[in-house]
Structure 1
Amino acid sequence: MSIHTPDWVKDAIFYQIFPDRFAMSEHVPKPPHLEPWDDPPTIHGFKGGDLLGVLEHLDYLSDLGITAIYFNPIFCSTANHRYHTYDYLHVDPLLGGDEAFRRLLDAAHRRGMRIILDGVFNHASRGFYQFNHILENGPQSPYLDWFIIRGFPLHAYDSMHEPNYVAWWNMPALPKLNTDNPEVREFLMEVAEYWIRQGIDGWRLDVPLEITTPGFWEEFRRRVKALNPEAYILGEIWDGAQAWLQGERFDAIMNYSFNRACYGFFGGQWLDVSQRPGGFSLERLDGVQFSQRIDYLLGLYDWQITSAQYNLLSSHDEPRFLTMVHGDTRRLRLATLFQMTFPGAPSIYYGDEVGMEGGRDPDCRRGFPWDESRWDHALRSDFRRCIQLRKDHVALRRGSYQALAADASTYVFARVHEGEVVVVAFNVGDAEAEVTVDLAGLLPAQAILHEVWTHRSLTPTEGKLSLTLPALDGRVFVWQANR
């Protein structure tokens, strides 16, 4: 079948925001006993970030070059991460409520920014009305079949017993919704439709593999796309997802395979291989192994899917990239340059651009440091520069991809699109490296390549380009037919 993904995603620069930790507005009332903003985060603590805080910092995001925001859950919930949903149709009052979201959505759209929300449809919380009804009424509740109950009384708050109902990872706070029940299925479809009608630009779907009801995600796609054909449907799948990316379910996945490859090559000897983000082991990769891994990833899916993949380096579910490479900002810079020149939509996890660090959850969810004296300004400038590079060259967003050279410490590739060729070269080694790449067939005779940022000009000899790459450096060269 023909595969179509939202066209705007191919040009998007995403920014992931964990709402409780990005920014706090004085216009949203705060409860007592908030965790101090700059203290290390705890599993259950709330710091008080809200959506008006995001609204008040849209200038910051625009200046960085952001064109789309992915929010971790914003609906009413009993947890700081809000994956424990108890009301799917209203925004959590601690975040400013429905009005704050309406103002933020409208302001973002006026700037041309898209907004996608996190949909947690596999499980709810103990505070969810239908589950509470069962707690109060037992087997007489008309909502009994909304969950998979295995006995009474429910052990929802009984620490001495395992939950006697199906729960996500057997956590009593997260009762699994029975999506085989048509009422539950219809409820969730209507939730998805409601927020699309409110104007959101797509859904990121939490643990979608755990909903095994036949046809659920196909129906979800049909109903969402009927309201907005350009809505982005993004699945949280950590590994190969060929069965899910055939044009009938999702447009893309959170591309953790991409970030593991980047860890391996750009992290190099500094990579903390003792970590297992998402339960996956990490391995250091030389340039040849990295090239093979990238070729494999590019061959997994239809090009429409590849061009819409959500390519991340860090997220709320794993240690930050900078922490994984022991604080070496040079390696984060190189990985970011690769991310911004690779097919698919790049995503920045809030604060990576100013040098935020963080280990395993909850440490990777620290409060954003709005005191600019704590920023790595040079790093932020590099992020802005790499984002602008992607915006300036359509080949980086929509062009074909061709690996050109790889050895122990180097990797070179080209992106090609309608009269534009962009060559990107990396050296992750600690010493200068010499690389020769064959550009025959990519460039016309006597073509001149211009190095981005230095404006140096290079002319291939008999189709071959010789490069001297400094240690831990990345270079970008551009040829344009009309230049």
Structure 2
Amino acid sequence: PGGVGAYRILVRTQDGKEEVFGPFNPPERPFAEVAWVGEGVGYQIFPERFYNGDSSNDALALETDEYRFNQVWQRSSGARPHLSRWGDPPSLLHCCHQYFGGDLAGVLAKLPYLEALGVTVIYLNPIFDSGSAHGYDTHDYLKVSPKFGDKALLRRVLDEAHRRGMRVVFDFVPNHTGLGFWAFQDVVKRGPRSPYWNWYFIKRWPFVPGDGSAYEGWWGLGSLPKLNTANPGVKRYLIEVAKYWVRFGFDGVRVDVPGDLLNPHAFFKEMRAALKAIRPDVYLVAEIWQRDPSWLQGDEFDSLMNYAIGRDILLRFARGGNLALYNARRALADLARVYALYPEAVAGMGFNLITSHDTARLLTELGGGGLKDIPSPEARARQRLAAAMLYALPGLPVTFQGDECGFTGERPADPPQELNRYPFQWERCHGETLAFYQELSRVRRELPALRSAVFRTYYGEGYLLAFFRGEPGEGEVLAAFNSGLEAASLPLPPGGWRDPIEGRTYRKEVSVPPLGFRYLLHLGQ
């Protein structure tokens, strides 16, 4: 803040020792938190499998599918892209080329559902013209996929979401394109004479589109030719695309595989400067799975996708099991390391998730079985425990569509794959689980400490874990979690501690139920 000069930090340990560090000088431009992020609740939508709001555009998926451009596939005897009814079983092409008809009209129709769930931030998987159900093979970065709708419909979705107090983040794929992208098609036709020849890494020409040995592809895939983002023309084009959609009305950008770009840090420094110049509170998220503060120095991204918190810590703890392998003490230490590693502004706007379109569903991860299985009561309890932890952390808790309904879905190695992405079966939503997520959102709204960036460790022994949220004193929250199968007693700090869900106040100690949790509000001395 303005007017703050050099400062020192006094550290006092539990045994009363003190040490002073500094002086430090604040930066000219402090890394500021995007305020609206940590205040809210996030939700990820995979549009093709969310809800079919307009069946008239279903067949358009086949007109733009990768198969029309992939000559290797055309010459093979493999299965062809196809349409299915919403409840049809997964086919061999379930991952990428079995189309069920989800679209933007479906997103628009379900905004009241999301509002009732407490959602304030929507993250949309790719919605631009592409050759697959997932959309990570872009054909036109400036065109809404016809199978989803058009720009006019997208405008309605954004306007209505904003009217309901929701922000919307789009998925941006700058590392590679699909085979139908106009620049790649020009290279296919004209070879070295194409002005876009150096947009890609071509090994030989002429070539058959889909032949991954003829050009560089992401993970060697012939369907995903890699862009040369070190080429100034490519970089300029991609950043202009991002600028276009921020001006159009999106509130944030999630970037796919940023670490795979050439000169990634230089690219995203430039992109951040361009987007923040248009809109200072635009939210920028990187798909980085591990802890890595190099992206979070105030000049590239606002947050990583915090799989390193959700999966490496919360999920491991919520699974319970052998304490020698993982326990509350280790989980608490791991959380402390994360929040010591990142700036407070980053913690306050962290994109926190346990599952996504790239993982098995949360209930499946916690012993609930696969797509066709019936989850046990213990698995459902462990899901509730994991969700309660997620909602208690600094930043934005993000739920993948359908997890709030207690759906299952695995990720088999062999087809049909990505069963976690099976269409949202609305009539099968588990009411108790849905009500639980709604309650978490309500409590998060009512307790300001849960929306702060402040995190402090408190207790970690065996299966019992507890930490503080918010500034010390009246109004802070003590969040406690028990991953064991027996109740556990937690000693309380001085004062009264009220459980806002139960409506009861505790002093000195409290029992945390098996596979249960408590949010305890400090009432003061």
1:121 corresponds, among 167, 170, 174, to: 174
The one-letter amino acid paired with 2:483 is: V
The one-letter amino acid paired with 2:34 is: P
TM-fit CA distance, 1:399: 4.9
Alignment of 1:127-138 (within 5 A): 127-138=180-191
Task: Tell me, yes or no, if structure 1 residue 315 matches structure 2 residue 356.
Answer: yes
Partner secondary structure for residue 285 of structure 2: strand
Q: CA RMSD in A?
A: 1.8
TM-score, scaled to structure 1: 0.91
CA distances 1:288-321 after superposition (whole Å, capped 9, x unpaired): 1111111111112001011111111210001111
The one-letter amino acid paired with 2:500 is: V
TM-fit CA distance, 1:467: 1.8
Q: Residues of 1 paired with 2:189 and 2:453: CA distance?
A: 58
Q: Is the 8 A contact 1:265 1:284 kept in 2?
A: no
Task: Tell me, yes or no, if structure 1 residue 99 matches structure 2 residue 152.
Answer: yes
Structure 2 residue aligned with 1:300: 341
1:35 corresponds, among 77, 81, 84, to: 84
CA distances 1:419-450 after superposition (whole Å, capped 9, x unpaired): 4121111111111222224x25xxxxxx3221
Partner secondary structure for residue 215 of structure 1: helix
Describe the shift of the 1:74–1:449 C-alpha distance in structure 2 as closer, same or farther (beyond 3 A).
Answer: same
Structure 2 residue aligned with 1:355: 406
Task: Tell me, yes or no, if structure 1 residue 152 matches structure 2 residue 210.
Answer: no
Structure 2 residue aligned with 1:9: 37
Task: Tell me, yes or no, if structure 1 residue 187 matches structure 2 residue 237.
Answer: yes
Q: Is the 8 A contact 2:285 2:301 kept in 1?
A: yes
The one-letter amino acid paired with 2:317 is: F
Structure 1 residue aligned with 2:314: 262
TM-fit CA distance, 1:471: 1.3
TM-fit CA distance, 1:269: 3.0
Alignment of 1:390-469 (within 5 A): 390-417=444-471, 419-437=474-492, 439=493, 447-459=495-507, 465-469=508-512
The one-letter amino acid paired with 1:35 is: S
Alignment of 1:188-337 (within 5 A): 188-213=238-263, 215-260=266-311, 261-269=313-321, 285-327=326-368, 328-337=379-388
TM-fit CA distance, 1:56: 0.6
Partner secondary structure for residue 133 of structure 2: coil
Q: Residues of 2 paired with 1:468 and 1:138: CA distance?
A: 71
Unaligned runs of 5+ in 1: 272-282, 441-446, 460-464
Q: Residues of 2 paired with 1:431 and 1:458: CA distance?
A: 20
Q: Residues of 1 paired with 2:56 and 2:273: CA distance?
A: 37
Partner secondary structure for residue 268 of structure 1: coil
Q: Residues of 2 paired with 1:398 and 1:384: CA distance?
A: 20
Partner secondary structure for residue 321 of structure 2: helix
Partner secondary structure for residue 152 of structure 2: helix
The one-letter amino acid paired with 1:11 is: E
Partner secondary structure for residue 325 of structure 1: helix
TM-fit CA distance, 1:456: 1.3
2:518 corresponds, among 475, 479, 482, to: 475
2:423 corresponds, among 367, 377, 385, to: 367
Q: Residues of 2 paired with 1:377 and 1:208: CA distance?
A: 38
Task: Tell me, yes or no, if structure 1 residue 111 matches structure 2 residue 164.
Answer: yes
Partner secondary structure for residue 132 of structure 1: helix
Task: Tell me, yes or no, if structure 1 residue 385 matches structure 2 residue 385.
Answer: no
Q: Is the 8 A contact 2:347 2:453 kept in 1?
A: no
Q: Residues of 1 paired with 2:304 and 2:87: CA distance?
A: 32
How many residue pairs end up in the alignment? 454
Q: Is the 8 A contact 2:477 2:519 kept in 1?
A: yes
Structure 1 residue aligned with 2:135: 82
Structure 1 residue aligned with 2:195: 142
